[in-house]
Amino acid sequence: MAKQPTAKVSVTALGQVRIFSPLTEEELAVLAENCSWSRHEAASEVLAQNAPCDEVYFICSGRVSAKTFSDAGKEITFAELVQGDVFGELSALDGEPRSSFVVTLEESLLAALPARVFNEFLDSHPKVMRALMVELTGRLRRADEKVFEFSTLNTSNRIHAELLRLASMHPAQNGAVEITSPPTHADLASRTNTTRESVTRTLNQLKQGGLIEATRQCLTIFDPDALTKLIRDSEAD
């Protein structure tokens, strides 16, 4: 468990959380006093699926993954969350157990509020409530996109679509996008409901076609529009 940050540091950290953007520094300072803080190493489990609702978490730095496992042990990734995101809010809102495991992908600093305090805060800060609604709407839209992809796209195209989704989170330079801290083949497989072998095969095809370059440190997509065209051409067949 990390030490409680200084007032200035905690306000700055919470100020990076998107749903708190409507708050003043004074309001952030009051909120920070009610938070507990924890620093987690990479590959640490933060939440367990089906655990009781007790806290809502805010990512002040780092990255986490929300995932579940089938009865056969297959890993399925719902989402990757980064600095500025919130998780655990669904259980706080409806009182149901956690819907997924949350595991850190890198060292992460998290702030947490008890579920009761979080709900009381939303009641007294309608602008934050609206910001949370917008956040959840975005997640629902992305979930709808994935349902559509799983229903209509073949294995390779699902991987192409996931690469485009990752690319959209990074700035383009001269048409190319560099994804630092890229997902592993196992991560891509769990996000696209396929296998590591299929991911490896698809990425090798893209490398041979000059569309991507991949190392452990960076995945470069040279022409995102070409990936989009691969998906559209497949849909037209």
Q: Which residues contact 147 (CB under 8 A, 6 or more apart)?
A: none
The model's pLDDT over 205-218, given as tens digits with 9 standing for 90+, comes to 999 999 999 998 99
Scanning the structure block, which residue is given the tokens 């893209």?
206
The model's pLDDT over 25-65, given as tens digits with 9 standing for 90+, comes to 999 999 999 999 999 999 999 999 999 879 999 999 999 99
Is a pLDDT exceeding 90 seen at residue 196?
Answer: yes
The model's pLDDT over 124-156, given as tens digits with 9 standing for 90+, comes to 999 999 999 999 999 999 999 999 999 999 999
- Provide the pLDDT for residue 1: 47
Confidence of residue 81 (pLDDT cuts 50, 70, 90): very high
DSSP designation for 99: S
The model's pLDDT over 5-26, given as tens digits with 9 standing for 90+, comes to 666 668 999 999 999 999 999 9
Radius of gyration of the chain (CA): 19
- Between strands 108-114 and 172-173, the pairing is unpaired
Domain boundaries, the chain: 7-145, 153-236
CATH architecture of 7-145: Sandwich (2.60)
Is a pLDDT exceeding 70 seen at residue 95?
Answer: yes
Rounded mean pLDDT, 92-118 = 95
* Start-to-end CA span in the chain (Å): 54
The model's pLDDT over 149-187, given as tens digits with 9 standing for 90+, comes to 999 999 999 999 999 999 998 899 989 999 988 999 999
Class of domain 153-236: mainly alpha
